[in-house]
């Protein structure tokens, strides 16, 4: 059975960040992720996570925070030095937080040169951090126009070209649904590459019980596939976080 984590960048935003850890635990989550935690000291984040009895599941590279700057440089030709400096900083954060995964954001780019750049940068990163679990994520073009990893097929191609055991796919069901229109086929096709799952209703990116995706069916397929990783809730609550958690307590169809 998969374990559920709360994305604290999206959930419990009624509270200051360091108070969201305990709130997530009280709500029934076993883990957390924070997209860009760099505005706070890693030791303070780690202490809040440990005090709440949670596992820190994932953070993104590069810094700085979500509110400004490009969404990564890993696929940007000529940006190799920037990528590598950012990666080292993010890796130090991930190690301090004992994070299960580190999501490497590709950024906006296109063409074969960008593909080679991304593959080369990821090969370097995988060798640099052989014991870290690194992820890349397909992100739909509507939400992030121009993002290089814009489909599960591109992500799978990159992972195969890198050929490192510590690189996998971050499979966001919301993005996969919007990209393909067929979440089940995307899941079944790319299961060998998938290391981490995120969920949200689609369209709208609200609670998993809102929208077109049948999460009851999806969760059954995840369980039957023997997936033992994390499923992270990364959505924008319709009202308050607490008011929208029936999906967690009673299933996606509740």
The one catalytic residue among 33, 55, 207, 234: 234
Neighbours of 245 (CB within 10 A): 20
* pLDDT for the residue numbered 253: 42
Alpha carbons 117 and 211: distance in angstroms, whole number:
37
- Quote the pLDDT of residue 67: 55
Instruction: Output the CA angle 181-137-17, nearest 5 degrees.
Output: 110
Is 80 an active-site residue? no
What are the residue boundaries of the structural domains of the chain, listed by start? 3-250
Question: Is there a contact between 200 and 173 (Cβ–Cβ < 8 Å)?
Answer: yes
Give pLDDT, residue 69: 67
Provide the pLDDT for residue 68. 61
Check the CA dihedral 171-157-61-135 and report its sign: positive
Per-residue pLDDT at 66: 52
Start-to-end C-alpha separation, the chain: 19
Q: Which residue has the tokens 């706070």?
A: 40
CATH class of 3-250: alpha beta
Q: Which of 234, 246, 254 is nearest to 12 (CA)?
A: 234
> What is the full per-residue pLDDT of the chain (254 aa) written as tens digits?
779 999 999 999 999 999 999 999 999 999 999 999 999 999 999 999 999 999 999 999 987 655 566 779 999 999 999 999 999 999 999 999 999 999 999 999 999 999 999 999 999 999 999 999 999 999 999 999 999 999 999 999 999 999 999 999 999 999 999 999 999 999 999 999 999 999 999 999 999 998 999 999 999 999 999 999 999 999 999 999 999 999 998 654 44
Q: Considering the candidates 137, 157, 207, 242, report the single residue annotated as catalytic.
A: 137
Does the active-site annotation cover 33?
no
Task: Provide DSSP, the chain.
Answer: --EEEEETTTS-TTS-HHHHHHHHHHHT-SEEE-S--TTS-HHHHHHHHHHTT-EEEEEEES-S-TTSS-SB-TT-TT-HHHHHHHHHHHHHHHHHHT-SEEEE-B-B--SHHHHHHHHHHHHHHHHH-TTSEEEE----TTTSTTBS--SHHHHHHHHHHH--TTEEEEEEHHHHHHHHS-HHHHHHHHGGGEEEEEE--TTTS--TTSSS--HHHHHHHHHHTT--SEEEE----SS-TGGGTHHHHH-TT-
């Amino acid at each position: 059975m998969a374990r559920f984590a709360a994305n604290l960048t999206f959930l419990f935003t009624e509270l200051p960040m360091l108070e969201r850890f305990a709130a997530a635990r009280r709500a029934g989550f076993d883990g957390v992720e924070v997209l860009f935690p760099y505005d706070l000291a890693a030791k303070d984040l780690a202490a809040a996570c440990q005090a709440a009895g949670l596992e820190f599941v994932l953070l993104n590279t590069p810094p700085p925070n979500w509110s400004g700057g490009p969404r990564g440089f890993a696929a940007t030709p000529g940006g190799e030095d920037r990528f590598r400096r950012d990666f080292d900083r993010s890796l130090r954060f991930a190690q301090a937080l004992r994070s299960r995964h580190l999501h490497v954001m590709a950024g906006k780019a296109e063409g074969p040169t960008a593909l080679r750049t991304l593959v080369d940068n990821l090969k370097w990163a995988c060798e640099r951090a052989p014991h870290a679990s690194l992820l890349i994520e397909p992100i739909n073009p509507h939400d992030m126009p121009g993002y290089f990893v814009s489909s599960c097929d591109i992500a799978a191609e990159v992972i195969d070209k890198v050929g490192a055991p510590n690189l996998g796919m971050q499979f966001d069901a919301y993005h996969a649904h919007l990209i393909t229109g067929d979440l089940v086929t995307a899941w079944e096709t790319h299961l060998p590459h998938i290391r981490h799952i995120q969920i949200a209703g689609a369209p709208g990116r609200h609670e998993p019980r809102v929208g077109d995706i049948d999460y009851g069916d999806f969760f059954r397929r995840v369980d039957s596939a023997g997936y033992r990783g994390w499923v992270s809730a990364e959505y924008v609550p319709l009202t308050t976080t607490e008011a929208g958690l029936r999906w967690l307590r009673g299933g996606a169809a509740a």
